[in-house]
Amino acid sequence: MFFIRRFIVRLGSMVATLAVMSFLIFFLVELMPGDVAQMVLGQNSTPEGLASLRESMGLNDPFLVRYWRWFSGLLQGDLGESLYMRGVAINSILWRKVGHSLVLAITALLFYVPLSIFFGVVAGVRAGKLSDQIISFFGLATMALPEFVSGVLFITLFSVKLKILPITSVIPIGESLWGNLNILILPALSITIVMFGYVSRMQRSSMIQVMDSDYVRAATLKGLPRRYVIFRHALKNALLPTITIIGMNMGWLFGGLIVVETLFGFPGLGSLTMSAIKTRDVPLIEACVLFITFIFVVSTLITDTLYGVLNPRVRLAKGVD
């Protein structure tokens, strides 16, 4: 019961966060230099033309009125129209890209989560031994390697030398992502390289801590085989901090892959945001950033919930008897 109530409270605070964030985003984009009407009409516009466009777009209204117009549109599911691509509804651009980003994020997640948890556990259990030293060194090295460097290395190796994967992750016109799944591999690998260090090191240190705990000692002295002690007694508890780290990075993974998507030309949310910023497409920037915020908030909620499921001390209220 307590657990459900906690979930509802979290849900409420999530909605509140989003409302506050929408205001902040609108306000910050407002501060950006440049005149929207000028941007739309270009260099050759007349002052009269600009004035009438400002009037028709409602740009002369007070800030709060404009915010409310935008926000009430949001509540009805209307994200507005793109400025750069005149008259195209943002809804028709954004969701397709979000779908692509989602597929990429899930692919990357499937790559790096099992890999880094496995090696983190191995390193933690064998702390101080050679295998731990190799894994830890590799983790540190990849952490220091920016994704555009590892991305270029991968392109050189797999696309230029071996010619087994496409150089860019562009979907040919008229085709969908599903027919071109091989374009996911290189970006996902680059993300894996970035995340591996963080996640495996977190897993390693929490594993060391748990292996040193009283209950793992007790399990060993109950005469349980070591493998069983590691996987049944230690791992479930040692996963908790790692899940927090993975959850915290989920927002970045879904919406913040600007560098990786730009490098590979992948048609996702990151490259959409990038081009929106480049073209000063204000409504599109607002929509993208708000969606990224949404992803961050939702992933935090999922992390918290998952944490509760794995940890009975959170799930079950204390002092039942």
Q: Which stretches of the chain bind other proteins, using CB under 8 A?
A: 2, 213-215, 217-226, 228, 232-233, 236-237, 310-313, 316-321
115 CB-contact burial (10 Å; exposed 0-12 / middle 13-18 / buried 19+): middle
Give the three-class secondary structure for 117.
helix
Shortest Cβ distance from residue 311 to other proteins (Å)? Answer: 6
Q: Which is nearer to other proteins, 210 or 282 (CB)?
A: 210
- Where do we find the tokens 């908790």? 240
State which residue, 45 or 311, has the beta carbon closest to other proteins. 311
Cα(188)–Cα(153) distance, integer angstroms: 14
Q: CB of 104 within 8 A of CB of 257?
A: yes
Cβ 7 to other proteins, closest distance in Å? 14
Q: Which is nearer to other proteins, 180 or 244 (CB)?
A: 244
CA distance 67 to 73: 10
Pair of tokens at residue 191: 């993300």
Instruction: Using the minimum distance from each CB to other proteins, give the nearer residue, 42 or 319.
Output: 319
* Residue 201 or 233 having the CB closest to other proteins: 233
Q: Decide if 94 contacts 287 (C-beta within 8 A).
A: yes
Contacts of 248 (CB under 8 A, 6+ apart): 299, 300, 303
CA dihedral 272, 275, 281, 283 (to 10 degrees): 20
Q: How many CB atoms lie within 10 A of CB 213?
A: 14
Can you read off the two tokens belonging to residue 198?
A: 């963080």
Q: Which residue type, as a one-letter code, is found at position 184?
A: L
Neighbour tally for 41: CB within 10 Å: 14
Name the residue nearer to other proteins (CB basis): 110 or 218: 218
C-alpha closest to that of 97 among 234, 295, 243, 239:
295
Q: How far is the CB of 238 from other proteins (least distance, A)?
A: 10
CB of 140 to other proteins, least distance (A): 24
Name the minimum Å distance from CB 219 to other proteins.
7
In whole angstroms, the minimum distance from the beta carbon of 300 to other proteins comes to 22
Nearer to other proteins, 173 or 320 (CB): 320
Task: Give min distance, CB of 221 to other proteins, in A.
Answer: 5
